[in-house]
Structure 1
Amino acid sequence: MPTAAPAEDWLTAAQVAAYFQVNPRTVYRWAASDPTMRVKRLGPNGRTVRIHRSELERDHNGPATTRHRPHSPAPGPRPASSPRPSATGPGTRSRAPPATKAQTRTRL
């Protein structure tokens, strides 16, 4: 009969979230969306989960590819964006200023 993995090998959602620097709810979402993830469901309703430590090093594919990795290098410089069109430039319609209370009363 195989022996159970030591308790230290199974991490809480909060521990995994701290490692990946994400919200614990994100870890629950990953566990629900990735059927290959090593997860234990505990308790009478199965809401409490434990994630195996090996998941921290595993190369995840599918919906979990957007996971944040800790200590990632800073992104490079942003590309220059095109200038925004002027709000009063060609092709824009001017709007009338908002009516004052006195003007609103005279309209009724």
Structure 2
Amino acid sequence: MDKKTVLAALAALGQDTRLEAFRLLVQAGADGVPAGEIASRLGAVQNTMSAHLRVLDQAGLVRAARDGRIVRYTADMAGFRDLLAYLTEDCCGGRPEICAPALELAACRAPVGEEA
């Protein structure tokens, strides 16, 4: 992941509604959530939410899939992992094992030595 993409992702997540939308989609998993339901759950106007979701999409953090008239969004976990990998690439002075628990959690696995 290049620095420009990282900056776009961090900027996208640096806004309250977009951060909440991304967290909602992470929680929803592979099933995702229709755009209208995201707006409803977050108490946002639908056209404003569409703009927020577009920013997250352009930042590589969510994906949109059309199902008839409904646009369903899912968190792009590969994009999120790429962001985390970039941020922790040179973790802890060459001791990546220190960052391993955080990366394991991001991969939805229990940290090494702990049960799920």
- Which of the five TM-score ranges fits, normalised by the shorter chain? 0.3 to 0.5
TM-score, normalization: structure 1? 0.32
Larger Rg: 1
Higher helix share: 2
TM-score, normalization: structure 2? 0.31
